Every structure is written in structure tokens, then in C-alpha cells.
Amino acid sequence: MGYLLENLWAMWIAIGVFFLIVELCTTALISIWFVPAAGLTALLSFLIPQLGWQIVIFAVLSSVFMLLFKKLYKKRIKKNEDDVKPEISLIGKSAVTQEPTGMYGGRVKCGDVYWRAVSEDGSVIDKGKTVIITGVNDTTLVVKNK
């Protein structure tokens, strides 16, 4: 610990490596902007030896990188949020009704997963019938007779 306080540049490099490891473990893009901020603070520590000012510089640089990152990747992040719903890929696939399924709901099995389902036109589909998934409403599948 004494070494890091005597060589503040090494402390900032260690902080940057720590946040890089955190980011690699989470892949949630929650700490990536701290990495370049710590690196630049390490470089600036040779010009500004006071720890207090270095902390201020790190905070400001982290904020700047966070704002730039959010602005540059806002569209990409939004697109990825839309792709998070894997049940959308079920549209067009077959399922088997596990109980009578009508406009008020029922249950189907698609692959090895059971889903709540409603019939597309409101008619009752008997148990054991093969249906086609035509839509998804939250966690409820919309189905019709095959």
C-alpha cells in the first residue's frame, strides 16, 4: 500500500486494471469509462502530484467519458435492448396445446418450455392440438390452429 501512495501513477494504473477486470467479468458496460480516465489520470499524476487534485481529475474524466460513451453508443444500446426478447424468435414455430386454449388463455409447450397462450381468433383449441405461434404479447404466445 505504501508503494502505491508513493507512486500515485501506479495506483491509477491499478485502478484502471481493476475496472477493466470488472468490465470483462460483467460485460454490462457499467465501468468501461473508468479505464481510460484512470489511464489519463496516471499520466497526469506526473504533472500534478497532489492526490486530491488527481481524484478530481479522475472524477471529471470519468464523467466526460461516460457522457461520450452514452452518446456514441445510445443507438447501439437501444438496439440491443430490443434484441433481448428471445421469445420473438418463436413466431412461426409449432407448439402443442397442453390444455384447452382460447381467448382467455391456456397453455402450450414449445420445445421443452411451457408457455401461457391465447388463440388468435378467440376460438377454443382443444388439448393436444398442434398450433402455430403467430405473435408474442409479453410472456403470452398468440397461437392458431395448424
CA distances from 14 to 4, 22, 41, 134 (A): 9, 12, 12, 53
How does pLDDT run across 40-93, given as a tens digit for each residue?
999 999 999 999 999 999 999 999 999 888 777 766 655 555 455 666 778 899
How does pLDDT run across 113-133, given as a tens digit for each residue?
999 999 999 899 999 999 999
What is 87-145's CATH topology?
Answer: OB fold (Dihydrolipoamide Acetyltransferase, E2P) (2.40.50)
Domain boundaries, the chain: 2-82, 87-145
How does pLDDT run across 2-31, given as a tens digit for each residue?
776 778 999 999 999 999 999 898 877 788
